[in-house]
Structure 1
Amino acid sequence: MTFDPDRVQTITFDSYSTLVDVDAAVRALADHVADPEPISTLWRLRSLEYTLVANHVDAYQPFYEMNRDALQYALEVFDADVTEAERDEVLAVYHELDVFDDVRDGIERLREGGYDCYVVSNGDPDMLSSMIDHADIGDLLEDAISADEVETYKPAADLYRHAAGRTGTPIDEIVHVTAGWYDVMGAKHAGMQGAWVDRKGRPWEPVAGEPDLTIERFHDLAAELGV
């Protein structure tokens, strides 16, 4: 499908890897283990897989707990000598992740163009609140919508439909902006347009369709919307 700017009334943003850089987790791990890369990779993979499995077997836990369990598993796989306190110190990085440099100016430009902006995330409410505060974008957002509100994770359609209801916008008049390919496809399946933020120049995943729009920075979306 081709992106249709005339349909867009509301913009929703994913959080992690879209607004803020999760690579800080690797740097936090580096303070405790000699080789953080494989642990971080497995941690992120399991964190995502746990949410997907939870959707299908009714095993919902808040994302902070899912993320903690995924990190613990990754540490055990690589026999990392990390205490529980040190593990929690690494997890705490998620409350203070670095914001990408185009985020504030980009969202501000979209707001000035007349678009209401929201966050829609797997993160639980406390995580999202601290992320938004640390990124200093609370004044630009109408609200943050968490998977915790419906106890269902992306890419399940129920979360995107819930988000549309919370924004008061018909679902087909929302564009969801995210760095996660599965998040793009979940939003599109639910009825939104999906804009993929490709910050790292990676190929698109060859499954289940394509994004309506691919951008490198939020300013690219603003340009597509004519603001």
Structure 2
Amino acid sequence: MPVTTCVFDAYGTLFDVAAAARQAAAEPGREAFAAHWVKVASDWRLKQLQYTWLRAVAGAHADFWEVTQNGLDWALEASGLAGDAALRERLLALYWELAAYPEVPAMLAALKAAGYQTAILSNGSPAMLEGAVQSAGVGDVLDDVLSVESVGVFKPDARVYDLVGQRFGCAREEVLFVSSNGWDAGCATGYGFHTVWVNRAGEPVDRLPWVPANRLTDLTTIPELAQSL
């Protein structure tokens, strides 16, 4: 059964989650933060993800914006920057304007030109995702933006992946799911999607019952891969 629908995780896959900290570190007057921004960005993302998993297991859902703030607060405290309220405010503001990776607009446009349905499937709240899509200028090459908020639980709960079939009326075998998170792509493999792990950092494969079916270092060749499946 050929692929009809290409679905992407948002943060770290289409949008550069380190961009907020990188941009803040380059601004005048933030020399102290510049010495810590790489660690803060890494800690922020790690805690953000960990809190989604813990909340899902504990049945204590909160929207992704609250989780994002919680992760940042932990990361700033870990680097001795918890008292810098202006820095916190600036980082959170920049998170609503994350840059897309350079290859993203052309890749999505190529998929649409080839007749594929395209969508985001993300932990992000609808408002956050709307801001990111508008900032990146990719709304015209996406058919929909699906948020976990409609089911009230974070990935990798199967109810999140169910949203794709519910929205597009497609079988699992018709979906190519792309994520920068190895665990996300692996669990989507177990769900029945064709999968791609965009492993930009060259990380090891997560030790899970399933592994991503395909591995790439960026998104450039997604249209060609979709046509080959």
Output the TM-score relative to the length of structure 2. 0.89
Indicate the residue corresponding to 2:6 in structure 1. Answer: 11
CA distance in 1, matches of 2:14, 2:69: 21
Q: CA deviation at 1:188?
A: 1.7
Structure 1 residues 61 and 136: CA distance shift in structure 2, 3 A: same
CA distance in 1, matches of 2:24, 2:136: 22
Between the aligned residues of both structures, percent identity stands at 31
CA distance in 1, matches of 2:181, 2:114: 25
* Amino acid in structure 2 at the alignment position of 1:200: A
Structure 2, unmatched stretches of 5+, are none
Q: Deviations over 1:149-183 (max 9, x none)?
A: 11111111110012321222122211111111111
Structure 2 counterpart SS, 1:98: coil
After superposition, residues 1-227 of structure 1 pair within 5 angstroms as 6-28=1-23, 30=25, 31=30, 33=33, 34-226=35-227
Q: Deviations over 1:114-154 (max 9, x none)?
A: 11000000110111001111111101111100011111111
Structure 2 counterpart SS, 1:92: helix
Structure 1, unmatched stretches of 5+, are 1-5
Structure 2 counterpart SS, 1:96: coil
CA distance in 2, matches of 1:71, 1:222: 35
* Amino acid in structure 2 at the alignment position of 1:215: L
Indicate the residue corresponding to 1:3 in structure 2. Answer: none
Q: Deviations over 1:72-125 (max 9, x none)?
A: 122223331533343122012221111111111111111111110000001101
Q: CA deviation at 1:28?
A: 4.5
CA distance in 2, matches of 1:216, 1:72: 30
Structure 1 counterpart SS, 2:227: coil
* Amino acid in structure 2 at the alignment position of 1:94: Y
Structure 1 counterpart SS, 2:220: helix
RMSD: 1.9
* Amino acid in structure 1 at the alignment position of 2:12: S
CA distance in 1, matches of 2:72, 2:220: 34
Output the TM-score relative to the length of structure 1. 0.89
* Number of matched pairs: 222
CA distance in 2, matches of 1:48, 1:207: 17
